[in-house]
């Protein structure tokens, strides 16, 4: 893959927030001694393959169409470990059973290394209790509903498998070729990074919408544009200079080094992706004290890379958008480093969109603690013994 080097970087404490980088070639060959341009980084096939072997791709799924899941599976490079964390209904139709059968049928032909687990499995909850990790439990002592909870389970499974990197791809993607590009971008971003604490976030070149006159290739999602605006305002408040560096606030498709992933706290609900950025700013921005001095010394890199493939995904309606607005802006509003005047603007934004009533605050989402201290060997042992839905196929 051939990408340009970051043209602009916003430095915030120990964090380097890189501006959006472009992809020039989806496959740049093997780079057998060919010199690279000063402005372009060519990441060869061998280098990408080596990183893919160390990477897990997590697919959180909740009732998405099986055809879409099969397409996503087909787009993930063969050497990556694929992890499906399902929260699909078990009754009246057992959707998880159908997902597992679709995966098994797919694997008869390709032999992909894959894990699948239902996040409501009591055996999973037992394993989490035994290792003292209960911040993703509901009142019934079972893992609660939520995409963030599924992502955290996926990260624990990736760590259990000894992977160095973990990426996330949503299950509602219509274009397998786009999925393949995302993973190549993840690997290329990691190859370009100068620190073991790295995050690579996807910026979609277009998010097409179906209209009466055909396809309209919009540049931004309706929520993403506003989330980015307020994340940039948060950065600008401390630097004193207005910025537009953050373009991927709601990017479900992103990747982290395990070294970074295990240090972060996470937010439940629809705030999970923007809260990752907020938490990085809080933890490593130099405003609040941190216990992670090694990461402060080596630095955090957040890369954003624009795809060549457009992002086709399922539309989920106005109610879903309102929940995303509330969660995304709410996690900025409730941040420990959010200044009062930015809180006022967020309140005004949500009231103007008729999402928030006068006198009310945005919902505060539950925080999910970091999993760095989890005894992963003990977790793996109990999970294998007690989780009925856990299947490892290859």
Decide: 376 and 156 in contact? Cβ < 8 Å. Answer: yes
Checking if the pLDDT of 119 tops 70, the result is yes
For residue 182, give the nearest of 80, 280, 285, 287 by alpha carbon. 80
Look at residue 312 in the predicted model and tell me its pLDDT.
78
DSSP notation for 340-370: HHHHHHHHHHHHHTTSS-TT--PPPPPEE--
Look at residue 110 in the predicted model and tell me its pLDDT.
94
pLDDT band at 314 (very low <50, low <70, confident <90, very high): low
Decide: 179 and 76 in contact? Cβ < 8 Å. Answer: yes
CATH number at residue 204: 3.90.550.10
Checking if the pLDDT of 36 tops 90, the result is no
Name the least confident of 4-13, 31-40, 379-388.
31-40
Return the percentage of the chain with pLDDT > 90, whole number: 80
Per the document, the length of the chain is: 394
Burial class of residue 27 (count of CB atoms within 10 Å of its CB; 0-12, 13-18, 19+): exposed
Q: Where would I find the beta strands (DSSP E) of the chain?
A: 2-4, 9-12, 15-25, 40-42, 55-61, 81-86, 114-118, 165-168, 197-203, 207-211, 214-218, 254-257, 266-267, 300-306, 367-368, 391-393
Checking if the pLDDT of 260 tops 90, the result is yes
Residue 201, phi then psi, degrees to nearest 5: -120, 140
**Cis amide prior to 208 (ω within 30 degrees):** no
Between residues 253 and 393, which one has the greater pLDDT?
Answer: 253
Checking if the pLDDT of 117 tops 90, the result is yes
pTM score over 0.85: yes
Return the percentage of the chain with pLDDT > 70, whole number: 93
In the structure encoding, which two tokens stand for residue 193, read together?
């990074």
Between residues 222 and 246, which one has the greater pLDDT?
Answer: 246
Over residues 97-109, mean pLDDT: 95
Look at residue 32 in the predicted model and tell me its pLDDT.
57
How many angstroms separate the first and last alpha carbons of the chain? 28
Name the least confident of 28-32, 102-106, 148-152, 268-272.
28-32
Find all residues with CB under 8 Å of 380, minimum gap 6, and list them.
Answer: 160
**Structural domain range at position 97:** 2-393
pLDDT band at 240 (very low <50, low <70, confident <90, very high): very high
Greatest mean pLDDT range, 37-46, 156-165, 309-318: 156-165
Checking if the pLDDT of 215 tops 70, the result is no
Decide: 6 and 303 in contact? Cβ < 8 Å. Answer: yes
Look at residue 34 in the predicted model and tell me its pLDDT.
58
Checking if the pLDDT of 35 tops 60, the result is no
Checking if the pLDDT of 209 tops 80, the result is no
Checking if the pLDDT of 301 tops 60, the result is yes
Distance CA 48, CA 29 (A): 11
Checking if the pLDDT of 170 tops 60, the result is yes
Distance CA 88, CA 76 (A): 21
Task: Find tokens 């993607």 and name the residue.
Answer: 173
Burial class of residue 53 (count of CB atoms within 10 Å of its CB; 0-12, 13-18, 19+): middle
Q: What distances in angstroms separate CA 349 from CA 227, 230, 260, 325, one per listed residue?
A: 11, 10, 32, 10
Cα angle for residues 368, 201, 345 (degrees, 5° grid): 70
Look at residue 30 in the predicted model and tell me its pLDDT.
84
Count of domains observed in the chain: 1
DSSP 389: T
Per-chain mean pLDDT for the chain: 92
In the structure encoding, which two tokens stand for residue 45, read together?
């096939």
Cα angle for residues 200, 203, 209 (degrees, 5° grid): 150
Checking if the pLDDT of 368 tops 60, the result is yes
pLDDT band at 363 (very low <50, low <70, confident <90, very high): confident
């Amino acid at each position: 893959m051939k990408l340009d080097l970051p043209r602009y970087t916003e430095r915030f404490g120990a964090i380097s927030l890189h501006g959006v980088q472009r992809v020039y070639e989806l496959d740049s060959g093997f780079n057998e001694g060919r010199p690279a341009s000063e402005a372009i980084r060519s990441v060869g096939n061998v280098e990408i393959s080596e990183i893919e072997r160390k990477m897990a791709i997590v697919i959180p799924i909740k009732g998405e169409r099986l055809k879409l899941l099969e397409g996503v599976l087909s787009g993930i490079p063969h050497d990556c470990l694929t992890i499906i964390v399902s929260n699909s209904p078990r009754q009246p139709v057992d959707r998880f059973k159908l997902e597992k059968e679709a995966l098994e049928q797919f694997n008869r032909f390709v032999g992909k290394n894959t894990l699948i687990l239902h996040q409501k499995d009591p055996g999973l909850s037992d394993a989490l209790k035994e290792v003292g990790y209960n911040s993703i439990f509901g009142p019934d002592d079972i893992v609660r509903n939520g995409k963030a909870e599924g992502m955290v389970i996926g990260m624990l499974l990736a760590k259990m498998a000894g992977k160095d990197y973990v990426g996330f791809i949503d299950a509602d993607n219509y274009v397998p070729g786009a999925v393949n590009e995302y993973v190549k971008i993840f690997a290329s971003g990691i190859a370009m990074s100068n620190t073991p604490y790295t995050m690579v976030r996807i910026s979609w070149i277009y998010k097409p919408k179906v209209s009466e006159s055909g396809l309209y290739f919009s540049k931004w999602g309706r929520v993403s544009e506003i989330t980015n605006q307020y994340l940039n305002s948060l950065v600008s408040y401390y630097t004193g200079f207005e910025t537009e560096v953050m373009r991927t606030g709601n990017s479900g498709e992103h990747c982290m080094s395990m070294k970074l992933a295990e240090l972060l706290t996470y937010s439940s609900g629809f705030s999970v992706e923007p809260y990752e950025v907020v938490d990085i700013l809080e933890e490593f921005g130099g405003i609040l004290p941190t216990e992670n001095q090694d990461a402060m010394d080596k630095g955090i890199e957040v890369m954003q890379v624009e795809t060549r493939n457009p992002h086709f995904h399922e539309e989920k309606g106005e109610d879903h958008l309102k929940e995303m607005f509330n969660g995304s802006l709410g996690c900025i509003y409730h941040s420990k480093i959010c200044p009062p005047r930015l809180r006022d603007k967020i309140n005004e934004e949500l009231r103007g969109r008729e999402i928030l009533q006068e006198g009310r605050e945005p919902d505060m989402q539950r925080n999910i603690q970091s999993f760095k201290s989890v005894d992963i060997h003990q977790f793996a042992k109990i999970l294998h013994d007690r989780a009925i839905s856990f299947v490892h196929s290859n």
